[in-house]
Structure 1
Amino acid sequence: MQAARWRKPILTAVALFLLLTSPWGQASRFPAPVAWQPPPPLAPQADDCHGPGVLRVTPGAASANEESDAAWGDADLRTREKKAMSGRATAPAAVLSAKPDALHREMAAADSAGPSEPLVQPIAPEPPVPAPGDKRRAGQQPVVTAGMVDDNADFGAYLAYRERNAQLPVRARDVSERYLLQVQDATGRPVPDAEVALQPGGGWNPGGQQQWMVRTDAAGRAWLHPRAVFGGAGQPEVLQVQARKDGATGATLLRRGQREALQLRLDRATVQARARLDLVFLIDATGSMSDEIAKLNASLQTIARQIAALPARPDICMAMVAYRDRGDAFLIRAHDFTDRLDDVQHNLAQLRAGGGGDTPEALNEAWHETVNRLSWRKDASRLVVLVADAPPHLDYGQPYYDEDLLSAQALGIKLFAVGASGLDQVGEYVFRQMAQYTGGRFVFLTYRDASDPGSGPGTQTVHDVQNYSVQTLDRLIVKLVRDELAGRTGA
């Protein structure tokens, strides 16, 4: 009798537990961000990117193999990469850092224009958007127009946007408290890629408990969001901020709630080296992305050539990370950094859109791969261009995109998120969240008719944005890189 008396409450408790932990019980609930989870002391390690980029493939299904690669059009890519890695490549590839005089002359007009206008200013599309009925010449690249917003420049509007969309099922971290850190050397020059540690008191102790690491961008700046890192209650009121670069060091205090900007000066001058650029294309390769992949492939040569001829004359490494979803031929296909443009172009040309099926895709996993496993170089500007039309799966468990935002800051990685046609409200929120936190921009394709992506290039969008600039996508990407590198050159 006693056992029977306890049986019903136990069964009820078990049933309630199963309901709450089942997919149905969590359909609109995702794990909240951890209040305090300091990233490990990350630091870029690579010295160069010479030679072919190493390929890493994460299968999307247990049965994914050579045959599945062939089915998705990837067999030739795998064969070529095996030859490249064994030293049997048939022809030398073009090197991204090579900048012949003819190319310099080609870009002279753009260089002589001086620094770009602030990103929040509207810029006229160039070349002009074709009028209705216009026909492009055979072989001409397709015109793709895009808008852009800088949510850090218009931060009040961004916070209002987040408030309007607070009900969306995302991993929202609190960025309402924000500070701009500027690191300078003893001569007053900005210090790019300075390593910065923030903690509630104590000395320089990389990896120590409750330590938060960031790196400055090309202009010596970094955005700081204490609430996004430390969480809610029990936050430290004063943070010790320490920075170092090339043997120079400096320290100051951040007294929260007083000033929105903070300046830190190092104790000696730093070395002004040639600009280095690590540029990654992070691409959603599911079935709905075929048009966007084709357009990016058509403009990659132009983008690379124009970046190479910027006033900073950067030493360029490029990488590509493509992703799909679980159950597809591959989950992630990551081509590590290389200075060979031919290799990058070939990898993109061989990429086929396929798989997917549901709206969310494996962006969490691909972002984690990009941040933590690519061979980022020391003393470089590190940029990621995400091109996708869907949000990440938040029901798969870790890794989560917001946790890797902290790691991206520790490595000094900026993300420019390009929302392709069909990006929903959750996708827009996540893309803008990732771009704002890392100091990047949110970019979105525009059309003549916002509700019809097939209507051709134009200035209209369905996204929740105002006062945005419009440009052709390839020129916009080059402009973003140019403005980033201008901090190193003063151009």
Structure 2
Amino acid sequence: MHKLLLSTLLFLVTGWATAQQRTIRGRVIDAADRTPLPGVAIALEGGAFGTTTDAKGQFKLTIPLASKTLLASYIGYVTQSVNVPAATDSVLIRLVADGKSLNEVVITGYATAAKREVMGSVATVPGSRRAPAPGSAHYSTAAITPGRSVYVTVTPDREAGQLTAGEIHDYSKWTLWGDIAQKELRDYRTLWRVAPAERYSVQVVSANGFPLIDVPVRLFDNQRHLIWETRTDNTGRSELWANLFQPADSTATNRVKGKVSAEAVVAGKTYTLNRLSPFGKGDNTLTIEQPCGDAAQTVDVAFVVDATGSMGDEISYLKAELTDVISRAKQAAPNSTIRLGSVFYRDRGEQYLTRHNDFTTQPDSAVAFIKNQEAMGGGDYPEAVDTALAVALTKLTWSPTAKTRLLFLVLDAPPHDDAAAIASLQRSVAKAAAMGIRLIPLAASGIDKSTEYLLRSMALGTNGTYVFLTDDSGIGNPHIKPTTDQYTVEKLNALLVRLIAKFTQTTDCQPPTVANVPNATPPVRYTEQGQPVDSTAAPAPTFRYFPNPTRDYLTIENTTAIDELFVMDITGKVLMRETPNRPVARLDMQTYPTGTYLFRFNATQRWQAGRFILHR
């Protein structure tokens, strides 16, 4: 498993081309509101060439001359097949929201995981597991800079795009998380002494209504004792926790009780918000009396990888996947400075405990370091996860100001569970939150339910998300299915690129646009329908919503009563839940910052979705 991961972080090579090629340029927009879609996966049918759209929804892809069909796929939308005749060099693609994928937020029982192919073809292996059939070498795209593509030759059995994975964003399933943490996963709270339950969410906005990014925010109890600290994310939102860690002594009385308050520090000035409401019981918004300023454009991405022998079943594949992710990171976060760092770790008493390569803006340097690592040692089940995290947080030079900081923790075994190791983990989670670093665990084969609970708790504590490999690729040892209602299976490289894209997307003090068309902003806009080629597209919507853009309220009118409705930010985090029980819902967006939002609702057992812009 370790070898897979290391291989993924490895390459970035020079170009390959033949004379029999042509370049296709295009733009991808939402069919309903015509807004550009960044981070959309564009692939040649068959999976040989691919790229992703930039912040303006634009892409450029060089393909063989005879190729005619492109696939455009994006989470939450119907995958569309696009015919590109030989005489065509530009395309406009309209993607339609996929109603079938909307049960991602259904807070019901724990059904069998739903699987959907998101990018290219994901090989589902029914019955017995099998390794992918070897084939001839092919080429995968590696976008180094916008507008320039190069091609990477990968060995047949270690090419990117073979591993399959899923994501559970517990912030988008908050009610469900509370349910399973109290039931199926309850016993592990005592072992790891962590319980993400008492959550306070604070939105920080500028005087002109834009989200403020990377702002330090602190949570205090009624005695002014510091409880938690973090920094606002790319949507201007901060996640704060009370009583996240449980004391080793179950009789301890130092738990936070009573009213709490929050303060944010911007340009040396402190802004205070008294008497916070727990998440779901009221809005907490801090308005900073100064205009939106230019945010830092730095994006720090670190990979912390278990390099013990147990990772050997997947590590070479993971190297190929991570290499591909590195090559595409720049396109996932256009106009950003990408810094890459890594830490490899083993266990106590091994040849080495940790090795690290500090942040660099040179992808080939990051790839070379990863390529030189091997999976060896281990022996017992737990590994030095606590030490690796401590090294990643203290030895890597994280940017003091950044748009986003991401730490991907790749592992197939839990940390040690002695008191010292658990205390170290708690310190690292708190430190990562204070530094504004999202922890994104990537669970490989060997992870058990106890470790799943710990990793999901660490992700919640740092505003991250949980990623896990699945058996659908037929690669490696068996992988457990996570405790949840449903999840989507994606190719691992596409999933990681999507996460980088969604966690770096910002307004940059500019309101999103409904359409790149003059005078295309009528006071009332209704849902528009595209014509996707995919025959499995959802039926026509039964609702309309207006105005879009809106400055304060959004009205949704359906033909039947709306039973349950969710509003989410661009990362998929649930911000609001309503139960109108009538055909019309009116959403109050006055406390939220300028940006792009999603809504999903259930009516007569059918989920439907829309996308709208708030411009305050």
For the criterion TM > 0.5, the same-fold answer is: yes
Could you tell me how far 1:282 is from its partner in structure 2? 0.7
- The corresponding residue for 2:409 is 386
Contact (CA 8 Å) 1:420, 1:445: kept in 2 or not? yes
Alignment of 1:167 with 2:166, yes or no, is no
Letter in 1 for 2:241: H
SS at match of 1:309: helix
Alignment of 1:191 with 2:190, yes or no, is no
Letter in 2 for 1:310: A
Letter in 1 for 2:346: R
Alignment of 1:443 with 2:462, yes or no, is no
CA distance in structure 2 between the partners assigned to 1:104 and 1:436 by the alignment: 39
CA distance in structure 2 between the partners assigned to 1:162 and 1:211 by the alignment: 22
Could you tell me how far 1:243 is from its partner in structure 2? 0.8
Letter in 2 for 1:137: S
- The corresponding residue for 1:337 is 359
Contact (CA 8 Å) 1:382, 1:412: kept in 2 or not? yes
Letter in 2 for 1:463: P
Alignment of structure 1 residues 256-267 onto 2, 5 Å: 256=277, 259-267=281-289
SS at match of 2:482: coil
Query: Which structure has more strand as a fraction of its residues?
Result: 2
Query: Which structure has more helix as a fraction of its residues?
Result: 1
- Of the structure 1 ranges 273-282 and 115-124, higher mean CA displacement relative to structure 2 is found in 115-124
Alignment of structure 1 residues 243-258 onto 2, 5 Å: 243-247=264-268, 249-256=270-277
Distance 1:176 1:274, change over 3 A: closer
Alignment of 1:200 with 2:185, yes or no, is no
- Of the structure 1 ranges 148-157 and 240-249, higher mean CA displacement relative to structure 2 is found in 240-249
Distance 1:345 1:291, change over 3 A: farther
Alignment of 1:224 with 2:264, yes or no, is no
- The corresponding residue for 2:452 is 428
- The corresponding residue for 1:238 is 259
Distance 1:466 1:334, change over 3 A: same
Could you tell me how far 1:321 is from its partner in structure 2? 0.8
Contact (CA 8 Å) 1:317, 1:337: kept in 2 or not? yes
Could you tell me how far 1:108 is from its partner in structure 2? 6.0
Distance 1:234 1:145, change over 3 A: closer
Letter in 2 for 1:486: Q
Letter in 2 for 1:438: T
Alignment of 1:305 with 2:327, yes or no, is yes
Could you tell me how far 1:348 is from its partner in structure 2? 0.6
- The corresponding residue for 2:229 is 213
Contact (CA 8 Å) 2:204, 2:287: kept in 1 or not? yes
Alignment of 1:268 with 2:287, yes or no, is no
Could you tell me how far 1:296 is from its partner in structure 2? 2.4
Distance 1:230 1:350, change over 3 A: closer
Identity %, equivalent residues: 28
TM superposition outliers: structure 1 runs of 4+ over 6 Å:
102-106
SS at match of 1:397: helix
Contact (CA 8 Å) 1:321, 1:370: kept in 2 or not? yes
- 1:146-168 CA deviation, whole Å, 9 max, x = no partner? 01111121122222322223323
CA distance in structure 2 between the partners assigned to 1:131 and 1:345 by the alignment: 30
- Of the structure 1 ranges 173-182 and 110-119, higher mean CA displacement relative to structure 2 is found in 110-119
Alignment of structure 1 residues 40-119 onto 2, 5 Å: 107=51, 109=53, 111-112=57-58, 117=76
CA distance in structure 1 between the partners assigned to 2:488 and 2:282 by the alignment: 26
SS at match of 1:153: helix
Match of 1:462 among 481, 505, 523: 481
What TM-score results when the alignment is normalised by the length of structure 2?
0.57
- The corresponding residue for 2:177 is 158
Could you tell me how far 1:420 is from its partner in structure 2? 0.2
CA distance in structure 2 between the partners assigned to 1:109 and 1:226 by the alignment: 39
CA distance in structure 1 between the partners assigned to 2:507 and 2:419 by the alignment: 40
Distance 1:454 1:197, change over 3 A: closer
- 1:81-126 CA deviation, whole Å, 9 max, x = no partner? xxxxxxxxxxxx999xxxxxx9999746563489864994776331
What TM-score results when the alignment is normalised by the length of structure 1?
0.70
- 1:218-261 CA deviation, whole Å, 9 max, x = no partner? 11112122122697666342223111233464221134558354
- Of the structure 1 ranges 222-231 and 191-200, higher mean CA displacement relative to structure 2 is found in 222-231
Alignment of 1:180 with 2:204, yes or no, is no
Contact (CA 8 Å) 1:248, 1:270: kept in 2 or not? no
Task: Report the RMSD for the aligned CA atoms in angstroms.
Answer: 3.3
CA distance in structure 1 between the partners assigned to 2:450 and 2:24 by the alignment: 42
- The corresponding residue for 2:506 is 487
Could you tell me how far 1:390 is from its partner in structure 2? 0.6
- 1:417-451 CA deviation, whole Å, 9 max, x = no partner? 1110111122211111111211111111111399x
Distance 1:477 1:213, change over 3 A: same
- The corresponding residue for 2:9 is none
SS at match of 1:330: coil
- The corresponding residue for 1:125 is 118
Letter in 1 for 2:393: V
Contact (CA 8 Å) 2:123, 2:473: kept in 1 or not? no
For structure 2, the residue ranges without an aligned partner over 5 or more in a row are: 4-11, 15-22, 27-49, 59-71, 77-100, 106-114, 126-131, 138-154, 248-252, 509-594, 597-616
- The corresponding residue for 2:614 is none
Contact (CA 8 Å) 2:228, 2:240: kept in 1 or not? no
Contact (CA 8 Å) 1:274, 1:315: kept in 2 or not? no
Could you tell me how far 1:363 is from its partner in structure 2? 0.3
Letter in 1 for 2:317: K
- Of the structure 1 ranges 409-418 and 132-141, higher mean CA displacement relative to structure 2 is found in 132-141
CA distance in structure 2 between the partners assigned to 1:385 and 1:129 by the alignment: 23
- The corresponding residue for 1:404 is 428
Match of 2:387 among 349, 360, 365: 365
Contact (CA 8 Å) 2:385, 2:415: kept in 1 or not? yes
